[in-house]
C-alpha cells in the first residue's frame, strides 16, 4: 500500500510540477543576481487573459533551437613538477595524468526573434535544462503572451514533452497564467500522461537561504489538472484535480474526481475507485507549513468541510468493501479552535474477507453494512470538549452510542494527546439491539446444547450478582435495567454517569473496589426500554 501511495502521489506531483516547471519558477530556484546587477524589467500590469484578441497581428512563428555543435573533449592538463634540490636535470617521477576538468554547461543557442517570455523561461529553468519546440508564436506585441507546440524539456536522465504550452505574464517568481496540453514524462519506471494542466496566479518567492520556499509563502489562485494516467508497478487514472485560493490566511479548496488505482500491494485490497473528494475552508499553506515545523496549525475562523463519495475497494476483481459517502463539517467560531462539528460515514460495507468470514458465517451475516455518525463541540476558553453522540450502527446488528463531556483541555493538549489535566463531567453509553445479541445467544445455545431461555437466565443471574450489594439501593435500578435487556424484555439499555464532582484521571488510576463505590463516584444510572 505504501508503494502504491508513492506512485499515486508521484503521478499527481509530476502533473502539478510539470505545470509549475513549464511556467518557469518551480523547476529550479536560481540564485539571485549580485547586488547592483541590472535586472530585466517585469510587467507591472495584469496581462490579458490567455488567448485574448490583440490589437496588433501576432508575431511570426519561430524555428526550434538548433543543436549545439559537437565539441571534442579537452586534453588533460598535467601541472609542472618541481625538481628535487641538488639533483639538476633528473627527470621527474612518473605521474598519472590529472582527470579532465568538468566542463561548464554549454549555453543553448536562442533562435532569432524568440519571444521574450520563452527566453525568460530558459533562464528560469537553469543551464542544465534544454528547452526546444516545434513552433512558437507571440500572442501580443511584447512577446509576453506566447504559445509553443511540440515542446521538449530535457535534463540529464530526464525528459518531458508537451503538445502545447501557452504562457501569459511569466515572471521570475511565477506566472499569471499557464496552460499545458498533452504533457508526458517518465519518472522511476512510472510513465505519466496528463491531458491538460491550467495554472492561474502562481507566485513562488525565492528562498534566500536556499532550498524551496515554505508552503505558506507560495500563492496559487487556481490549478486544474485533467486526464492523468500513470502506468508502472501500479496504475492510476484521475479525471480531474483542482486547487483554488492557496493563499496564507485564507480558506482554500481542493477537489479530486474519478480516481482509480490498481496493482496495489495492500494485501486484502489491490485496487480502489473514488468518485469524488473535496476539502474546503482550510488554510492549506499555513497548515502544511506548521506541520512541517512541528507546530500547532492555527485555526481559521469559519466553516470547513471534507466530503467523499463513492469509494470502492476490490481484490482480484471482486469487491471487498466500500463507503457510499463521508461528510465531516466544522464551524469554527474563534481562533482557539472553539466551535462545533459533525462527522458521518454512511453506506459502509465490508464483504466476507478471510479474516472475518468465519465470524460472519457463525452469526449468519453475508456482509457488514452500517454507518458512523457523531456530533462534537469545543469551548477553548473553558477547555470543554463534548462528544454529544458518537453512534456506530450496523444493519441487522444494532447501534452503539457514546457520549462524553470533559474539561481542562486546551487545543494544544488535545493535538498532543495529553489528557493528564482532563476532568470527566458526564458520560453515556447506549446499545440498541437489532439482532446481534439474539444471534449470539442462539449460537451459544447451539454450541452448548442449552435452551436459549435458560442461557438468558444464567446471564441475568451473573449480572445480578455483580450489581447487588446489601444495603445499597442505588444499584437496584441499574441491575434491573441490565437484567431486562438480557431476558429480552427490552431492546435498548442505556447507562449514564453524572459525577457529583468532576473526576480527574488521577482518581481513576485504579478501578473502584466494588460496584457501589463506582456508582457513588460516577453517579451511575441505567434505563432499559
- Report, in this order, helix, strand and coil percent for the chain, each rounded to 5: 20, 40, 40
Domain-embedded: residue 250: yes
Element (H, E) at 282: strand 271-282
> What are 5-41's pLDDT values in tens digits?
444 444 444 444 444 444 443 333 333 334 344 333 3
Confidence bin at 187 (pLDDT 50/70/90): confident
User: Residue 231 pLDDT more than 70?
Assistant: yes
Percent over 70 (pLDDT), the chain: 80
Q: What is the pLDDT of residue 105?
A: 53
Q: Which residue has the cell 524589467?
A: 41
pLDDT tens-digit series, residues 338-364:
999 999 999 999 999 888 999 999 999
Higher pLDDT, 475 or 415: 475
Decide which of 235, 270, 305 is a domain's last residue.
270
The pLDDT-based confidence of 137 (bands split at 50, 70, 90) is very high
CA-wise closest residue to 270 among 1, 9, 2:
1
104-118, 300-314, 432-446, range with the lowest pLDDT: 104-118
**What's the pLDDT score for residue 415?**
76
In a domain, 46, yes or no: no
- Give mean pLDDT, residues 427-447: 95
Residue 523 lies in a domain: yes
pLDDT of residue 295: 85
pLDDT at site 206: 82
Q: According to the model, what pLDDT value does residue 314 have?
A: 96
Tell me what the mean pLDDT of segment 217-238 comes to.
96
The per-residue pLDDT for range 90-134, each reduced to its tens digit, is 444 444 445 444 445 556 677 878 899 999 999 888 889 999 999
Write down the mean pLDDT value for the chain.
83
pLDDT tens digits, residue range 192-205? 999 999 999 999 99
Does residue 76 carry a pLDDT above 70? no
* pLDDT computed for residue 106 by the predictor: 59
Residues 192-220, mean pLDDT to the nearest whole number: 91
Burial class (CB in 10 A: 0-12, 13-18, 19+), 390: middle
Kindly tell me if the per-residue pLDDT of 87 is higher than 50. Answer: no
503: Cβ contacts below 8 Å, ≥ 6 apart: 423, 424, 521, 522
Q: Is residue 513 a part of any domain in this protein?
A: yes
Three-class SS state of 290: helix
Of 255, 270, 285, at which residue does a domain stop?
270
Greater model confidence, 212 or 387: 387
pLDDT, position 410: 82
Question: In the predicted model, what is the mean pLDDT of residues 453-464?
Answer: 96
DSSP 413: H
In a domain, 482, yes or no: yes
Reply yes or no on whether the pLDDT at 316 is more than 70.
Answer: yes
Q: Residue 46's pLDDT band (boundaries 50, 70, 90)?
A: very low
pLDDT at 180 over 90: yes
Q: Phi, psi at residue 9, to the nearest 5°?
A: -65, -40
Number of neighbouring beta carbons within 10 Å of residue 272: 20
371 belongs to a structural domain: no
Cell of residue 505, nine digits: 484521571
53-67, 373-387, 508-522, range with greatest mean pLDDT: 373-387
Label residue 74 by pLDDT band (50, 70, 90). very low
Residue 524 lies in a domain: yes
Full domain range(s) for residue 225 = 1-28+111-270
- pLDDT exceeds 70 at position 4: no
**With bands split at pLDDT 50, 70 and 90, how would you rate the model's confidence at 78?**
very low
Non-local CB neighbours of 245 within 8 Å, separated by 6+ positions: 221, 222, 251, 252, 253
From 221, 242, 270, give the residue that closes a domain. Answer: 270
The whole-number pLDDT of residue 113 equals 84
Whole-angstrom Cα distance, residue 244 to residue 238? Answer: 18
Number of domains in the chain: 2
Residues 251-262 have pLDDT tens digits of 999 999 999 999
- Examine residue 168 and state whether it is found in any structural domain, yes or no: yes
Helix orientation angle between 436-448 and 452-466, rounded to the nearest 10 degrees: 110
Query: Alpha-carbon distance 493 to 527, whole Å?
Result: 6
pLDDT at 163 over 80: yes
- Report the pLDDT value the prediction gives residue 188, as an integer from 0 to 100: 81
Amino acid at each position: 500500500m505504501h508503494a502504491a501511495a508513492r506512485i499515486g502521489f508521484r503521478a499527481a506531483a509530476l502533473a502539478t510540477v510539470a505545470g509549475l516547471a513549464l511556467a518557469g519558477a518551480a523547476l529550479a530556484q536560481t540564485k539571485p543576481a549580485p547586488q547592483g546587477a541590472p535586472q530585466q524589467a517585469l510587467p507591472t500590469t495584469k496581462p490579458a487573459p490567455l488567448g485574448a484578441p490583440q490589437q496588433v497581428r501576432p508575431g511570426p512563428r519561430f524555428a526550434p533551437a538548433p543543436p549545439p555543435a559537437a565539441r571534442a573533449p579537452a586534453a588533460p592538463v598535467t601541472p609542472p613538477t618541481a625538481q628535487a634540490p641538488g639533483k639538476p636535470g633528473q627527470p621527474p617521477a612518473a605521474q598519472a595524468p590529472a582527470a579532465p576538468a568538468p566542463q561548464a554547461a554549454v549555453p543553448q543557442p536562442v533562435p532569432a526573434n524568440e519571444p521574450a517570455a520563452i527566453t525568460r523561461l530558459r533562464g528560469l529553468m537553469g543551464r542544465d535544462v534544454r528547452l526546444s519546440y516545434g513552433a512558437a508564436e507571440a500572442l501580443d506585441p511584447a512577446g509576453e503572451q506566447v504559445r509553443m507546440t511540440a515542446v521538449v524539456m530535457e535534463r540529464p536522465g530526464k525528459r518531458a514533452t508537451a503538445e502545447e504550452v501557452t504562457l501569459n505574464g511569466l515572471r521570475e517568481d511565477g506566472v499569471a497564467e499557464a496552460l499545458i496540453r498533452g504533457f508526458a514524462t517518465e519518472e522511476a519506471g512510472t510513465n505519466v500522461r496528463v491531458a491538460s494542466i491550467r495554472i492561474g496566479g502562481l507566485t513562488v518567492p525565492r528562498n534566500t537561504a536556499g532550498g524551496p520556499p515554505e508552503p505558506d509563502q507560495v500563492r496559487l489562485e487556481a490549478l486544474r489538472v485533467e486526464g492523468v494516467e500513470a502506468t508502472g508497478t501500479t496504475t492510476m487514472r484521475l479525471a480531474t484535480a483542482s486547487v483554488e485560493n492557496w493563499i496564507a490566511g485564507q480558506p482554500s479548496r481542493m477537489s479530486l474526481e474519478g480516481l482509480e488505482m490498481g496493482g496495489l500491494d495492500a494485501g486484502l485490497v489491490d485496487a480502489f475507485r473514488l468518485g469524488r473528494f473535496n476539502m474546503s475552508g482550510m488554510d492549506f499553506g499555513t497548515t502544511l507549513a506548521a506541520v512541517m515545523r512541528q507546530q500547532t496549525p492555527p485555526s481559521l475562523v469559519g466553516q470547513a468541510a471534507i466530503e467523499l463519495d463513492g469509494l470502492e475497494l476490490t481484490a482480484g476483481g471482486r469487491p471487498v468493501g466500500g463507503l457510499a459517502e463521508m461528510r465531516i463539517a466544522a464551524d469554527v467560531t474563534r481562533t482557539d479552535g472553539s466551535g462545533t462539528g459533525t462527522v458521518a460515514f454512511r453506506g459502509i460495507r465490508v464483504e466476507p474477507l478471510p479474516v472475518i468470514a468465519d465470524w460472519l458465517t457463525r452469526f449468519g451475516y453475508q456482509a457488514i453494512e452500517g454507518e458512523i455518525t457523531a456530533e462534537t463541540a469545543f469551548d477553548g476558553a473553558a477547555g470543554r470538549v463534548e462528544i454529544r453522540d458518537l453512534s456506530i450502527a450496523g444493519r441487522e446488528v444494532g447501534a452503539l452510542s457514546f457520549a462524553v463531556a470533559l474539561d481542562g483541555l486546551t487545543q494544544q493538549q488535545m493535538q498532543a494527546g495529553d489528557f493528564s489535566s482532563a476532568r470527566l463531567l458526564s458520560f453515556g453509553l447506549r446499545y440498541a439491539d437489532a439482532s446481534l445479541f439474539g444471534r449470539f445467544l442462539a449460537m451459544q445455545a447451539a454450541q452448548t446444547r442449552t435452551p436459549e431461555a435458560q442461557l438468558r437466565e444464567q446471564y441475568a443471574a451473573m449480572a445480578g450478582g455483580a450489581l447487588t450489594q446489601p444495603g445499597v439501593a442505588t444499584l437496584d435500578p441499574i441491575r434491573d435495567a441490565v437484567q431486562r435487556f438480557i431476558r429480552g424484555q427490552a431492546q435498548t439499555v442505556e447507562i449514564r454517569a453524572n459525577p457529583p464532582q468532576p473526576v480527574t484521571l488521577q482518581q481513576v488510576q485504579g478501578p473502584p473496589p466494588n460496584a457501589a463505590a463506582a456508582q457513588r463516584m460516577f453517579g451511575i444510572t441505567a434505563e432499559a426500554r
